[in-house]
Amino acid sequence: MTPENTQFRTGVIQPVECLKEGWALIKDQYWLFLGIVVVGVFVGSAVPIVLIGPMMVGIYMCFFRRMRGEPIEFGHLFKGFDYFAQALIAALIQVIPIIVVMVPLYIIMFVVILVSMPRDGRIDPDQTPTFLFTLLGFYLVFIVVIIAMAVIVAVFFFFSFPLIADRNFTGVDAVKLSFKAARANLGGILGLILLNFGLGILGVLCCYVGAILVAPVSLAAHAVAYRRVFPEVLRNFASPPPPPATWAA
């Protein structure tokens, strides 16, 4: 099976419903999934580009096992390393647009700071406000670009790791199909990402503990959204039927 002949559904991602289904999926094994997600993210963050791919694939494999009614063990998290090469390729591809945008931005920021600084090393009080406002303005632009870049990457690579975990696609094929399916389900994916972002912000306001506690539910919602777009006959897990959808290939 290749991205060219793989069908997927459109118009089936409803953010709130996906979040509810995600909670229903893991609530009776919440603490196990919390451990899986926390350890997976921690290990993946140790060497971000190299390990985050296999860890995310392992996390999604656990969710898909739960959807199929199969028993879950903590060790299943590390099954993602069975797809190490393809997960690494997908992770590397995700980094490319970030590097393309961020490196020039860092260079521009460095040049702006260098040009704005007094050449004789002394700060003219009359020029201080201009210097500070220049830095502040560029910093705000920098933050906006980072947020926009993060959202774009999150949207278009939304299905990459789940496709590797579920369909055993190569990293390149998973990214290709993720772009195609994400473009066809743009509104629903963006809504789910923003909803989870809002929950994460609320969690951070609760001394960061809330953000950790809500993480498995957010990722479970992502898995549910994936399964709505790329359906499979589920066993022993009843979920509300998704809304009417159209198919694309």
The CA distance from 164 to 174, in Å, is 6
Residue 20 has pLDDT above 90, yes or no: yes
Considering only 64-73, 113-122, 182-191, 212-221, which range has the smallest mean pLDDT?
A: 113-122
| Band (86; pLDDT cuts 50, 70, 90) | very high
Residue 247 has pLDDT above 70, yes or no: no
Can you list the alpha helix ranges (DSSP code H) found in the chain?
15-26, 30-46, 48-67, 84-116, 128-156, 160-167, 171-184, 186-205, 209-229
* Angle (nearest 5°) at CA 44 between 39 and 48: 155
For residue 114, the model assigns a pLDDT of 74
8 Å CB contact between 125 and 210: no
Instruction: Count the domains in the chain.
Output: 1
Mean pLDDT of 53-64: 97
8 Å CB contact between 18 and 192: yes
- Per residue in 102-111, pLDDT (tens digit) is 888 888 877 7
- Residue 93: which domain range? 3-248
Q: How distant, in Å, are the alpha carbons of 101, 199, 201 from that of 187?
A: 24, 18, 21
- Per residue in 117-143, pLDDT (tens digit) is 666 656 555 556 666 777 787 778 888
* pTM confidence score: 0.83
Structure tokens at 64: 């898909």
The CA distance from 1 to 100, in Å, is 31
8 Å CB contact between 218 and 15: no
Q: What percent of the chain has pLDDT over 90?
A: 61
* Angle (nearest 5°) at CA 141 between 151 and 178: 15
